[in-house]
Amino acid sequence: MLPNALQPNETDHVPVLAEEVRALLGVRPGDVVAKSPADGGLPPFELDGLLGRRLVNALHADEDITLEDVEPAGELAARGAQQA
């Protein structure tokens, strides 16, 4: 619910700018930020499946990540076995 200026409440939703959120979270180049809802990329609940996998396609800031943009999960397993 949007805030009511006449009756402020602790549970009011206060819109913030994306830049403010990035600054508060300390997001740096190379970090992955999940946004919802996903409009073409992977939904945020898929993030765990991306951890440890390398990008195979360069992406711009705010560009959607798809499964085609990351190495296949099998390559991640093979890389882990080689390092052990």
For the stretch 35-82, pLDDT in tens is 765 577 787 788 888 888 888 988 887 788 888 888 887 776 677 667
pLDDT at 27: 80
Lowest-confidence segment of 2-6, 10-14, 65-69, 75-79 by average pLDDT: 2-6
pLDDT at 62: 78
Containing H/E element for 6?
Answer: none
Q: Helices (DSSP H) in 26-72: which residue ranges?
A: none
Residue 2 has pLDDT above 60, yes or no: no
pLDDT at 30: 76
Asked if 66 and 41 count as a contact pair (C-beta separation under 8 A), the reply is: yes
User: Rounded to an integer, what distance in angstroms lies between the CA atom of residue 80 and that of residue 30?
Assistant: 21
